[in-house]
Structure 1
Amino acid sequence: MKAACWMGRNTVEVHEVPDPRILNARDAVVRITSTAICGSDLHLYDGYVPTMKKGDILGHEFMGEVVEVGPQVSTLKVGDRVVVPFPIACGNCGSCANGMYSVCENSNPNAGMAEKLMGHSPSGIFGYSHMLGGYPGGQAQYARVPFADVGPIKIEDDLPDEKVLFLSDILPTGWMGAEMCDIKPGDTIAVWGAGPVGQFAVASAYLMGAERVIAIDRFPYRLRKAAQAGAQTLDYEEVNVLEALREMTAGRGPDACIDAVGMEAHHPVAAVHAYDRTRQAARMETERPHALREAIMACRNGGTVSVVGVYGGLLDKFPMGALMNRSLTLKAGQCHVQRYTRPLLERIRNGDIDPSFVISHRMRLEDAPRGYEMFKNKQDECNKIVLSAV
């Protein structure tokens, strides 16, 4: 089969690789119809996530048709159309029992590698380094899906791929980012990052009852998308964000702040950006946490900072004093996708949201190398790329 493979920093190539096969009685094999390039994939592409190996198959947002099931999979059959969540979860451990699927205790066979960096291991993730399981990803024609009786959600109607594909990751991630804000009527929510996750966080916050959502970014086309989802917008290269948010909230600050950026944030002040970029390049820290620092400083006293942007390890100059002295609550996590797929599917069916609005480019799997370069460099107003694997 063909697959998009990580071949080193800033290098993705499409190669012929062996077809996946059933390795465990709870496995399924899915013929992939649609897959996507995620902003989180760019952290791999840029070389900031450790334990990648040359030839690793990328991709954690995918859906398709079941073509084979293991003998212990009773929830799926050959021919079922499914969306596959990016966290791999067993469904039996204490974390899964509490709906915390992205910290499944049984799905990462390389847990010891993650424990050295994180203390405890999160779940395995498709196509996202050997530290997180070494599982081949979904930017391919086929994928093996472990614990297939737990993760995939069947799509039993004629909804097109583009309306349901993002149930695999970014729609539930944006939703969870808003949910962690504990939104109440009248609340003002600020969202750092107006990429697809930020755009879904904006839409989710309004669905949860926020009165006002403010999106912060520097790319006009992304800010336009956020505005179409209902947000007021701030271009952080044009205004001082902290001052602007104080003015917009009568000096209080937003009730909650969502970091939808993560480890490769950009800062408009060249010297500040250079500080973290240099330390990151020298592996003295793994993050450029400009958005997180700013979200903490902007949030009102007693408010909540919600982090769904991906971080990999260690950061510098974390404003712990602000967090502690101002009674802020910090909530964070990889999305527990399986918790949200069914209720969000119902919202899609009911017309509450059409997730396809984030798509800007459609390509074939063979075009993945060009797609990565386009997405990284924000060429042609690239917001979200969907790859067809058929």
Structure 2
Amino acid sequence: MPGSPAPSTPPPPAPDLPRAARLPSLTGMRFLAALLVFAFHTTFQTRFFEGGLGDTLGDTFANAGFYGVTFFFVLSGFVLTWSARPAEGAPRVWRRRLVKIFPNHLVTFVAAAALMAAASEVFTTKGVLANLFLVQAWIPEIQVPNTMNAVSWSLSCELFFYLAFPFLLPVLERLTARRLWTLAGVLAALTVLVPAVSSWAVAGTPLPFIADGSLSFEQIWSVYFFPPVRAIEFVLGMIAARLVLTGAIPRIALLPAAAIAVGGYVLNASVPYLYGVAGTGALWLAPLVVAAAQADVRQTASPFRGRVLVRLGELSFAFYMVHGLVVTYGHKWFVAGEDLSGAAAAALLLAALLAALALAHALFTWVEAPAVRRFSAPRAKNPAASEAAPPAAPAPAVAPLTVLEAGE
């Protein structure tokens, strides 16, 4: 109508800031998070120490594995968004991610089968097949998600994230900063709401050995294993990366961010069980991921950027995939039922850590890295034509950062 004001349209999203070629602090932090998972498995789930010291360590690290899982899910969303390549199709994204996780998974699957056979443990068809094809986290039966190489349940979640990523990223890239913040707030609220809903809406037989004995496996599965629920943390990581890339998030110093993460761990250890194992840790860990990325972009001081720590971070996915087997069967054969002194228990714990690191180095060197180099990019169908063609424009300087596609 003449004279009427033109309809308002939302402003276009802010252009992305230049991306740093590497984010080594995030790589270094990956190993520290992997150590949290290792500490959980060696002090709480399977105890290397008994007596008062064992009780103290168990209480201290009772939530460490859950916290480490959340860190890796948030980190996965952040790094995949940060390192996304322009106009890269979904098949290429899926190829790179599957090549990253499946070789290590298959090797440790075979190792788990051999160790289970040596220990005369029972195999189930459903458990074996679900684990092999990484669908175990979708099945709410207590004997399925943690079968074979038990820690690989989180790869089942990561596989779901990867399948969804090419469809989620374009949506987030079109959102303004204000809408990204709003979505982040909604997802943060969901991390608290989901355990509350599960506590009264999900039934099942209570497990006497979990928390106060009032929770069923189905309740725990719905907040801890179920991939769509865990995707909340992954998407929060994606949003955090978008906010950093568009300059829509203020600078966060590493020290305050680390204090928030530590305080969040203490808080999560004090809340009801379902809240502690769910994704509420993302609220306290996302600022640390953002702060570390900003420190690398600005080249400010970071304790996570040391050469040794970064190298260990590169091994962290392989470390995660082997450590559960080392801990489980090392404890079964050398610790369980033995009256060990504190020194002997400490020596065995150190031996388990060193063995896991050695196996991780071997897995990374002989399986993971060669598979990524060989299969992450499709080979040219016509080498002669490729050589005759003019060189393509260089891609943005984003290093192919790897993420620990794993959790507890």
Task: Say yes or no: TM over 0.5.
Answer: no
Higher RCO (C-alpha 8 Å, min separation 6): 2
More strand by share: 1
**TM-score, structure 2 as length reference:** 0.28
More helix by share: 2
**TM-score, structure 1 as length reference:** 0.29
